[in-house]
């Protein structure tokens, strides 16, 4: 189990970068950012698995294809577009707070799965997590003046962030269940296939946007627009490699090795690393409430790990 916990922590370190990228690429639309990231992800995944890709594709059945399409949309493209829209209209703080509810939403959705600890045993750790999220909320509403957007746009941003939360909650639970039911692909193989399918869908969306809306999602209008497309592709390539290729592979390993109620808690590492990267990016130290929030979140995760370890030890002892 602890190997899965470590993989979950490292995946969170990779995913924390996602919240900073919309701040770095403010000149680009969420559609452009999503297509850029997942086009890069698809190319990198295909390149890494190129010698084995034909054989992997031949092993796919109809259920695998349907699962990949659903997961690519919910867990990658739609999720990231909604997240970027949330950052644009409601700001980084509000969006990260809403996404930060993932540990609770995933835990609640996966509580009846095999190997999950009864919810009553997790009430106190979950209360610590909720207290940590409350501290972050209190800090935001007392210090964050917002991004100056009109109220309707802020509401739209909150709704988009809530939609991203729902997308990733469903993806996380369904992906974990699918991996455990279908061991015929390794975590690395499934991550690569997942990346290729995401890239193909992003390419289709890009071509459709170009044809119907004349949206520039390829960089062809770099000179005319004056936007830095070199920075755009460098940032998206690094994000695709770190958060998508490496991060998703680590998360697939964690999903196979830990129960859903614990994997829900491990998503907190994404929030913690996002906060850390934000402090570094803004070159400021965390405030008192932010420190309290991080301590409460870490305490909640560690307590949850302890509960799962004791439960696993009890089951092993009972089986002897």
Number of continuous H segments (helices) and E segments (strands) in the chain: 17, 0
Residue 78 contacts by C-beta under 8 Å, 6 or more apart in sequence?
Answer: 167
Residue 262 contacts by C-beta under 8 Å, 6 or more apart in sequence?
Answer: 1, 5, 117, 304, 305, 308
Crossing angle of helices 268-282 and 102-109, rounded to 10°: 170
Question: Which pLDDT score, from 0 to 100, does residue 113 have?
Answer: 62
Rounded to an integer, what distance in angstroms lies between the CA atom of residue 150 and that of residue 148?
A: 7
What are the pLDDT digits (tens) for 73-128? Answer: 998 899 999 998 987 887 776 777 788 777 777 777 776 665 566 767 778 888 88
Q: Return the structure tokens found at 112.
A: 């009846």
Question: Which pLDDT score, from 0 to 100, does residue 145 have?
Answer: 47
Q: Return the structure tokens found at 296.
A: 């409460």
What are the pLDDT digits (tens) for 250-266? Answer: 887 887 777 756 666 67
Rounded to an integer, what distance in angstroms lies between the CA atom of residue 1 and that of residue 306?
A: 11
Rounded to an integer, what distance in angstroms lies between the CA atom of residue 66 and that of residue 6?
A: 30
Angle at 166 between CA 160 and CA 169, to 5 degrees: 140
pTM, rounded to two decimals = 0.76
Rounded to an integer, what distance in angstroms lies between the CA atom of residue 49 and that of residue 43?
A: 10
What are the pLDDT digits (tens) for 27-50? Answer: 888 889 999 999 999 999 889 888
Q: Is 118 left (phi over 0), alpha (psi -120 to 50) or beta?
A: beta
């Amino acid at each position: 189990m602890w190997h899965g916990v470590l993989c979950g922590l490292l995946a969170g370190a990779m995913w924390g970068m996602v919240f900073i990228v919309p701040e770095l690429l403010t000149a680009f639309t969420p559609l452009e950012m999503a297509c850029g990231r997942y086009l890069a992800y698809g190319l990198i995944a295909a390149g890494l698995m190129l010698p084995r890709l034909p054989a992997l594709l031949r092993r796919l059945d109809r259920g695998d294809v349907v699962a990949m399409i659903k997961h690519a949309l919910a867990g990658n493209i739609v999720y990231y577009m909604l997240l970027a829209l949330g950052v644009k209209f409601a700001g980084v703080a509000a969006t990260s707070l809403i996404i930060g509810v993932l540990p609770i939403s995933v835990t609640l959705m996966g509580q009846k799965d095999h190997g999950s600890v009864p919810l009553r045993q997790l009430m106190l750790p979950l209360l610590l997590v909720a207290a940590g999220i409350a501290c972050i909320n209190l800090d935001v509403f007392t210090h964050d003046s917002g991004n100056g957007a009109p109220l309707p746009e802020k509401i739209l941003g909150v709704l988009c962030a809530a939609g991203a939360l729902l997308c990733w909650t469903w993806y996380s639970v369904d992906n974990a269940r699918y991996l455990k039911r279908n061991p015929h692909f390794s975590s690395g193989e499934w991550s690569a296939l997942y990346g290729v399918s995401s890239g193909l869908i992003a390419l289709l969306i890009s071509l459709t946007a170009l044809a119907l809306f004349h949206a520039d999602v390829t960089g062809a209008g770099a000179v005319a627009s004056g936007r830095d497309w070199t920075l755009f592709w460098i940032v998206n390539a690094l994000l695709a490699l770190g958060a998508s290729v490496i991060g998703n592979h680590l998360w697939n390993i964690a999903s196979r090795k830990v129960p859903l109620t614990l994997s829900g808690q491990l998503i907190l590492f994404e929030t913690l690393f996002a906060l850390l990267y934000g402090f570094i990016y803004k070159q400021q130290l965390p405030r008192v409430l932010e420190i309290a929030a991080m301590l409460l979140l870490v305490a909640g995760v560690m307590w949850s790990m302890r509960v799962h370890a004791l439960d696993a030890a009890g089951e092993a002892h009972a089986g002897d």
